[in-house]
Structure 1
Amino acid sequence: MQDVFVFETQCLHSLVKVFPDEELRDGSYTRGSALRGETFDFQVAYRAPALTKPIRVSVTSTSQAAITLREVGLAPSELPCQRRHDDNVLRVTPGLYPDPLLPIDEEQGIVGIHYQWRAVWITVELAEETPAGEYDITVKFAAMTGEMLGEESFHLEVISAVLPPQTLIHTEWFHADCLANYYGVQVFSDEHWGLIELYLLTAVRHGMNMVLTPHFTPPLDTQVGGERLTVQLVDVRKEADGTYEFGFGRLVRWIELCDRVGIRYFEFSHLFTQWGAKHAPKVVAEERGELRRIFGWDTDATGEAYKSFLNQYLPALMVFLRERGLENRCYFHISDEPLFEHMPWYRSASELMQAHLGNFPIIDALTNVEYYEQGLVKGPIPANDHIGPFLERQVPELWTYYCCVQYRQVSNRFFNMPSARNRVIGVQLYKFQIAGFLHWGYNFWNTQYSLQAIDPYRVTDAGRSFPSGDAFLVYPGEEGPVESIRMEVFYEGLQDLRALQLLESLVGREQVLTLIEEGLTEPLSFSQFPSDAEWLLGLRERVNRAISGASASESTKRGRLS
């Protein structure tokens, strides 16, 4: 009996996750719109009737925009979700999940595997100067012999308005030690600095404008009594009389690199340990001609030795930052995720830091609103499932975050979650006028508590500890970072936020809020939102139409006045 299957292709939107072991559930998506200065993504799924390689994939377009093709790779997950998950997930079983966006070699092409649906990811980068208009983008699949296997065309309308700059402060915690570990380079060697620059460039292109700055090795996800690889930017020398000298040469290089790639804000790493503020981070100093650790888990954070150190270090750092004109670009941390019972230690740390920092803001991820009410932290960052009390108190310039335990009825970006659940955060950030977003895992390639380094292509759940998709957004490539579906989709959410802000500038906030909630059975919140991709895509199209109409009216009005 002859094989009745043929090579198949289908255009899909970016919020579809194509699994190799199931049929496509979504219909074709062949047209969309974007603003000038925006990055637009879509996919083409393909299925071959037999093992077919290489398949050469190419793209042509009537637009002059930069277009990149990448293969949607599969990543393993042993722990795809928490046990008490909600229903807004794609699957809960361990297995292979679409996530890394792999570069396509022109000679090697891609591979078709017997009856498996796979996908190619298409990224269209529109410059602000891109002319408004209608453009066709055609993706073609050809066999090694030159035989055409299939093609799909997408129609993209570019609207004349320009996407405004991002105002949201956005940080994904950058782990410099993980780069050194994976690539086998010495910390702060020229090779390490080169990697840092490549990974920060990718972060900036995806809306990250703040970076975790390790003046001392960050005391994050470290086993009590254990250590992470030293990544300390500040040189410390301890004198015989107990005084300290500080050198800021590497910090200068870090700041200059960040300025070069487009990082705007510096988030100085925590000066007290995670989950309690009871101890000091690892601090290495030169003493009597030898480099050794002088503070760490064995240091009482409330003791005189560490207080004396901070009473000398913080004034020196303030002088350095003010001399470089960085007063409006720096943020500080005390301790990550303190609980209510940790308040006495946090209070001691907060009082000491506030005495030196002046107007420099202190921000911390935490749950209990009492920390804010008692003035211990002016910049609380509640998780999106605990943000209600902070919204009720109208905390100014409020931030939010999520991590491995925000998995019921809120936005997040685990492998097994639909991409709409990732992207919807942009609309939520807009409605509640959130000033900043924090996430702990840009490139955390360790197991939980940093007991050992991992290969992120094989271990995606921090050693069966955090659901896959929580610990990192990028994979390590031979020539720098390999991006993920989750990273691209989250950036789409940030672009939605900017488009909503643009529309607000044209028609007012009330009209935008009405547009967002039109047809919803209950108001949009961090815990109540439509779960389907069609609502989100439809909303963005309505926003684009409204921007186009309002911009045209504004142009006509200006013409009459002139």
Structure 2
Amino acid sequence: MVFHIHDEPDVHYRDAQTLEARRRQYLLTANILRRQLPGVRVIEAVDSDAFYGGVDIWVPVTSAFERRREAFARLIALGEQVWTYVCCSPEGHWLNRFLDQPLLHGRLLFWGCAANRIGGYLHWGFNQFPEGMDPFQGTSCPNHTGIGTNFPCGDCFIVYPGEDGPLLSMRLEASRRGAEDAALLAMLRECDEAAHDALIARIFTNNSTYNDDPAVFAEDYAQLLALLEQSDETDRGEAK
């Protein structure tokens, strides 16, 4: 069982005193939750490791992970679960899956997960369009959180409403393929970690530095499959 307590508790606050008060309240709530529901895990979108002791599954946005890479890497080394996500940010050259970005960016997000030993990906914006909005006509969903802006185009949804259920978008398909890539990369890492790291390094340095040339990616993906096939043949040979 997984519970979420407070979205981005260390992101929107007035001052250090406010953050500390929120941290104490959060830890108290997490302790009550665990006492009443033994075995429950707390998942939270966070910006830092400030809520250590209250969170079981840490989910920084990709830019926060890069900004505090050492802290989150330390959590991973301690055996903590660290996931990642993208929301209305990061923008610009950062990998995301906005409508104005190449489809490959949504797939490369998962190569970043593999590179950084991140164990999961939190999807924001599956079908977050308000009643009366036609996502075929308008792609920027209103933001009713009080910020006073709209969400970036495509940020809030990766499906469209259909008569017989949701219509899947190309961006969702890119994410699906990326998740499959991450599973294949995990298989490669298990048998040859050095080859895993070298393969990823050809196209991914971090979430804002990468090679999104489709031809280069296709070569890397083909190499991934070849390495896995070679490993499988080796295993079968040793089993004889």
SS in 2 for 1:362: strand
Deviation per residue, 1:282-334 (Å, 9 max, x gap): xxxxxxxxxxxxxxxxxxxxxxxxxxxxxxxxxxxxxxxxxxxxxxxx21111
Query: 1:492 Cα shift?
Result: 1.0
**Partner amino acid for 1:526?**
N
Distance 1:470 1:426 in 2: 17
- Aligned mate of 1:412, from 93, 96, 103: 96
**Partner amino acid for 2:96?**
N
Structure 2 contact 33–40 (Cα < 8 Å) conserved: no
Distance 2:71 2:123 in 1: 18
Distance 1:500 1:335 in 2: 33
Tell me the equivalent position of 1:356.
36
**Partner amino acid for 1:476?**
P
Structure 2 contact 107–174 (Cα < 8 Å) conserved: yes
Structure 2 contact 58–81 (Cα < 8 Å) conserved: no
- Tell me the TM-score normalized by structure 2: 0.82
Does the alignment pair 1:399 with 2:77? no
Query: 1:515 Cα shift?
Result: 2.6
**Partner amino acid for 1:512?**
H
Distance 1:337 1:453 in 2: 28
Does the alignment pair 1:333 with 2:4? yes
Structure 2 contact 41–57 (Cα < 8 Å) conserved: yes
- Aligned mate of 2:181, from 481, 492, 496: 496
Which structure has greater strand proportion? Answer: 1
| RMSD, aligned CA | 2.1
Query: 1:479 Cα shift?
Result: 1.1
Deviation per residue, 1:97-135 (Å, 9 max, x gap): xxxxxxxxxxxxxxxxxxxxxxxxxxxxxxxxxxxxxxx
* Aligned 1:43-442 pairs, distance under 5 A: 330-339=1-10, 341=19, 342-372=22-52, 375-387=53-65, 388-395=69-76, 396-442=80-126
Bigger RCO (CA 8 Å, 6+ sep): 1
Structure 1 contact 367–383 (Cα < 8 Å) conserved: yes
Distance 1:343 1:453 in 2: 38
- Aligned mate of 2:134, from 440, 452, 455: 455
Tell me the equivalent position of 1:167.
none
Structure 1 contact 369–389 (Cα < 8 Å) conserved: no
Distance 1:503 1:405 in 2: 31
Distance 1:456 1:409 in 2: 25
Larger radius of gyration: 1
Query: 1:361 Cα shift?
Result: 0.6
**Alpha-carbon spacing, 1:360–1:418, altered in 2? closer, same or farther (3 Å):** same
Distance 2:25 2:129 in 1: 30
Deviation per residue, 1:140-190 (Å, 9 max, x gap): xxxxxxxxxxxxxxxxxxxxxxxxxxxxxxxxxxxxxxxxxxxxxxxxxxx
Which structure has greater helix proportion? Answer: 2
Distance 2:73 2:227 in 1: 31
Structure 2 contact 49–71 (Cα < 8 Å) conserved: yes
**Partner amino acid for 1:456?**
P
**Alpha-carbon spacing, 1:359–1:421, altered in 2? closer, same or farther (3 Å):** same
Structure 1 contact 415–468 (Cα < 8 Å) conserved: yes
Structure 1 contact 363–381 (Cα < 8 Å) conserved: yes
Identity value in percent: 26
Tell me the equivalent position of 1:544.
225
Distance 1:553 1:482 in 2: 42
Count of residues in Structure 1 that have an aligned counterpart in Structure 2: 219
**Partner amino acid for 1:434?**
I
Query: 1:420 Cα shift?
Result: 1.7
Does the alignment pair 1:553 with 2:224? no
**Partner amino acid for 1:391?**
F
**Partner amino acid for 1:527?**
S
Structure 1 contact 426–494 (Cα < 8 Å) conserved: yes
Tell me the equivalent position of 2:169.
484
Query: 1:468 Cα shift?
Result: 1.1
